[in-house]
């Protein structure tokens, strides 16, 4: 193993790893790992290493990770094939067929040259295919774009020339000639064969731009072998029927047979025997005779795996397959779509499509089901999962006649998780439910809108300090009515509020604490006058208050009309109002009044510290103190008058009787 000097092919130092698990793949990125001791040189992430051992002779690796075990003083170096450097370069923006150097279509070779021209480590070598398609790319890596281009080819493989920079990437046809052989009793140890039909279809319905179809609606292959397995897919970039048919035939050719995988463990004997057929290499067609079963397997080598290439170079696990079971193929399967109706074609009532979104600012997956040709109604259902800088967004939406009739969504970011479902019908209007979870709050809300601006909503909010339950209704006349209950550790508040179209408001509230209960009703008129009534109950008193404010706000002053039982205790009651009207027989054991006007007073004995009157009638009058002078009163039909004169500083009172 050679440590290279930076990102060049100049040797820096040579060392020998202790172990080397190795996996080579025919399509994709080969990987390996090595274990080194303390005597090995310092190796950092993104360094380049060159492997000059068989069968990876000449491979250049890039360091992907370094793990250090301090107890054993060893390091494990994770490696990836240098082809992974193509993942570092990005095709920014929208790359159209015209940008790639074509018209409505562009050759695969020209497209590959353009793509590789966006970086400097690799250049295109041999390209053994000639075909043209409408390739387009949007914010993808050079590696992904190159995989897409080669994915449209049949029986292709990559080969690498790593002898000089820039490295040369060859795209070559797979040879069908037998290149290696594994036989029982010689170098074959175990064999396992699996068949995967999940990505297979024998009938393909292509759809182009503006719902364009080909003659007969579909292409087919191997239906007599595997039956009718139908798929459909739409490519809006294809505008001509002949191009649509060519694209469909190419898709079908790569999916018309099941994926057959044969995994073999055996011995790589070429170094000991020198026989060419004992040299197992990627991309070769491997022959596996099985005389005991009366058959021979002829499949291509797609993967080689050594548990330790250094200690046991002859023990290798070989994977044979008739298709490329790599990431690109998985993406193609995810991107393909199929009819759930087994008959397909014009009779299909549903068509499914799925694709992967990969741009500079978001990545995700989208699946769509639409009403097929001949369906009674026009509808579609779209499901998507998107990840961007704002968070994770999941959506399921159903549309009927271009109108969204139902939608469910989940949004997640660093601050909150929101779950929401919405449904719209002619009979019920729109109905939505939402749950929002935040670090200090959980909110549950249901809203219904029906008719012309009539809405009804209910909400429950849970916080660490309180729980609030609220229902609000807004009518067509713009009146609103709401009810709310708030529960806190030391308080419960129930409130009902109504606001009318004339801007009047009416509210009632009950507040309960451990010390008191308060019931209050408030009304505010259009002229900004307010009227309120309140009852407060404490353990030692009861208060009843009515207040009215006309303009100027709610301020307690002398200009304000205030009435109520302001205080009521076990031995005391206070009533205050501008006017108190008692209608009926009133009995009082004791009565004290600062200012009293009595039209008719009947009493056995009247005592007063001061008596002032123009007419006093009765049987007996007792003057305990001084009567005011110049005063007349009648007593038993006689007039009695009092005069006061002062002589030499002495005051004399004179009384006249007639």
276: left (phi over 0), alpha (psi -120 to 50) or beta: alpha
* pLDDT at 558 (0 to 100): 35
84, 104, 139: which is the final residue of a domain? Answer: 84
**Statement: residue 570 has pLDDT above 60:** no
Longest dimension (CA), the chain: 167
* pLDDT at 99 (0 to 100): 86
Q: Which of the four pLDDT bands, split at 50, 70 and 90, describes residue 239?
A: confident
Report yes or no on 550 lying in a domain: yes
**pLDDT by residue (tens digit) across 596-606?**
777 777 766 66
Report yes or no on 215 lying in a domain: no
Q: Are residues 77 and 94 in the same domain?
A: no
Report yes or no on 14 lying in a domain: yes
- Among 207-211, 429-433, 477-481, name the one with the lowest average pLDDT: 477-481
Q: What is the mean pLDDT of the chain?
A: 79
**pLDDT by residue (tens digit) across 297-309?**
888 888 888 888 8
**Statement: residue 190 has pLDDT above 80:** yes
Q: Are residues 116 and 161 in the same domain?
A: yes
* pLDDT at 402 (0 to 100): 66
* pLDDT at 198 (0 to 100): 80
Q: Are residues 102 and 64 in the same domain?
A: no
Give CA–CA dist 542/493, Å, rounded.
Answer: 19
> Who contacts 26 (Cβ-Cβ below 8 Å, separation ≥6)?
157, 158, 282, 283, 300, 301, 302, 303, 324
Peptide bond between residue 461 and the one before it cis (omega within 30 degrees of 0): no
**Statement: residue 579 has pLDDT above 50:** yes
Q: Are residues 62 and 118 in the same domain?
A: no
Q: Which of the four pLDDT bands, split at 50, 70 and 90, describes residue 639?
A: low
Q: How does DSSP classify residue 112?
A: H
**pLDDT by residue (tens digit) across 1-41?**
888 888 888 889 988 899 989 888 887 899 999 999 988 89
Report yes or no on 435 lying in a domain: yes
Q: Is 218 helix (H, G, I), strand (E, B) or coil?
A: coil
Report yes or no on 556 lying in a domain: yes
Residues 365-394 have a mean pLDDT of: 79
* pLDDT at 206 (0 to 100): 92
Q: Are residues 74 and 17 in the same domain?
A: yes
* pLDDT at 133 (0 to 100): 84
Residues 133-159 have a mean pLDDT of: 87
Report yes or no on 62 lying in a domain: yes
Report yes or no on 613 lying in a domain: yes
* pLDDT at 242 (0 to 100): 85
Q: Are residues 532 and 512 in the same domain?
A: yes
Give CA–CA dist 132/240, Å, rounded.
Answer: 14
* pLDDT at 428 (0 to 100): 67
**pLDDT by residue (tens digit) across 345-368?**
333 455 666 666 666 567 778 777
Domain count along the chain:
5
457, 488, 519: which is the final residue of a domain? Answer: 488
Report yes or no on 508 lying in a domain: yes
Which range of 360-364, 405-409, 609-613 scores highest in mean pLDDT? It is 405-409
Decide: pTM greater than 0.95: no
Q: Are residues 521 and 573 in the same domain?
A: yes
* pLDDT at 529 (0 to 100): 65
Peptide bond between residue 166 and the one before it cis (omega within 30 degrees of 0): yes
Structural domain span for residue 130 = 89-173
* pLDDT at 550 (0 to 100): 62
Residues 64-77 have a mean pLDDT of: 89
Q: Which of the four pLDDT bands, split at 50, 70 and 90, describes residue 344?
A: very low
Q: Are residues 15 and 53 in the same domain?
A: yes
Q: Are residues 642 and 656 in the same domain?
A: yes
462, 488, 514: which is the final residue of a domain? Answer: 488
* pLDDT at 624 (0 to 100): 45
Q: Are residues 607 and 642 in the same domain?
A: yes
């Amino acid at each position: 193993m050679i440590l290279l000097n930076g990102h060049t092919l100049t040797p820096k130092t040579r060392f020998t790893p202790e172990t080397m698990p190795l996996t080579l793949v025919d399509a994709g990125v080969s990987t390996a790992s090595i274990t080194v001791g303390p005597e090995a040189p310092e190796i950092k992430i993104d360094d380049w290493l060159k492997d000059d051992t068989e069968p990876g002779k000449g491979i250049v690796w890039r360091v992907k990770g370094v793990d250090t075990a301090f107890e054993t003083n060893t390091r494990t170096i994770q490696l990836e094939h240098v082809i992974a450097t193509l993942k570092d370069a990005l095709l920014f923006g929208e790359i159209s067929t015209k940008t790639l150097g074509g018209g409505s279509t562009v050759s695969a070779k020209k497209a590959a040259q353009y793509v590789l021209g966006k970086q400097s480590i690799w250049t295109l070598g041999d390209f053994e295919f000639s075909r043209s398609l409408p390739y387009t790319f949007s914010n993808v890596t050079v590696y992904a774009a190159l995989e897409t281009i080669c994915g449209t080819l049949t029986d292709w493989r990559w080969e690498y020339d790593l002898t000089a920079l820039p490295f040369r990437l060859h795209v070559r046809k797979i040879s069908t000639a037998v290149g290696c052989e594994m036989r029982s009793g010689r170098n074959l140890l175990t064999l396992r064969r699996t068949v995967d039909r999940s990505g297979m279809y024998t009938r393909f319905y292509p759809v182009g731009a503006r719902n364009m179809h080909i003659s007969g609606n579909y292409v087919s292959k191997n239906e007599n072998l595997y039956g009718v397995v139908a798929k459909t897919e739409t490519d809006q970039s294809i505008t001509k029927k002949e191009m649509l048919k060519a694209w469909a035939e190419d898709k079908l050719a790569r999916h018309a047979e099941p994926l057959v995988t044969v995994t073999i463990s055996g011995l790589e004997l070429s170094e000991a025997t020198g026989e060419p057929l004992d040299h197992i290499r990627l991309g070769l067609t491997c022959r596996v005779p099985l005389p005991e079963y009366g058959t021979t397997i002829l499949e291509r080598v797609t993967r080689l795996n050594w548990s330790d290439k250094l200690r046991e170079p002859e023990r290798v696990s070989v994977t044979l397959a008739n298709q490329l079971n790599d990431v690109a193929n998985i993406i193609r399967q995810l991107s393909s779509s199929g009819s759930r109706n087994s008959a397909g074609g014009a009779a299909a009532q549903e068509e499914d499509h799925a694709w992967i979104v990969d741009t500079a600012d978001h990545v995700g997956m989208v699946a769509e089901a639409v009403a097929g040709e001949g369906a009674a109604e026009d509808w579609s259902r779209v499901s998507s999962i998107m990840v961007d800088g704002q968070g994770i967004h999941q959506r399921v939406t159903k549309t009927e006649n271009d109108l969204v009739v139902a939608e469910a969504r989940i949004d997640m970011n660093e601050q909150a998780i929101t779950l929401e479902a919405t449904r719209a019908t002619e009979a019920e209007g729109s109905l939505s439910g939402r749950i929002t979870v935040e670090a200090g709050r959980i909110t549950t809300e249901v809203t219904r809108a029906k008719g012309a601006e009539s809405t009804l909503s209910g909400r429950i909010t849970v916080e660490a300090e309180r729980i609030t339950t609220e229902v609000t209704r807004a009518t067509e006349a713009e009146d609103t009515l709401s009810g709310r209950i708030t529960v806190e550790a030391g308080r419960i508040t129930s409130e009902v509020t109504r606001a009318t179209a004339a801007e009047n408001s009416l509210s009632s509230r009950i507040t309960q604490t451990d010390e008191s209960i308060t019931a209050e009703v408030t009304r505010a008129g259009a002229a900004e006058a307010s009227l309120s009534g309140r009852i407060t109950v404490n353990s030692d008193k009861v208060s009843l208050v009515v207040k009215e404010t006309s303009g100027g706000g709610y301020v307690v002053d002398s200009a304000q009309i205030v009435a109520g039982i302001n205080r009521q205790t076990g031995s005391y009651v206070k009533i205050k109002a501008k006017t108190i009207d008692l209608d009926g027989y009133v009995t009082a054991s004791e009565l004290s009044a600062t200012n009293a006007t009595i039209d008719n007073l009947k009493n056995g004995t009247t005592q007063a510290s001061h008596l002032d009157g123009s007419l006093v009638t009765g049987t007996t009058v007792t003057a305990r103190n001084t009567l005011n002078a110049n005063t007349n009163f009648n007593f038993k039909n006689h007039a009695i008058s009092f005069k006061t004169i002062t002589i030499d500083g002495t005051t004399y009172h004179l009384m006249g009787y007639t």
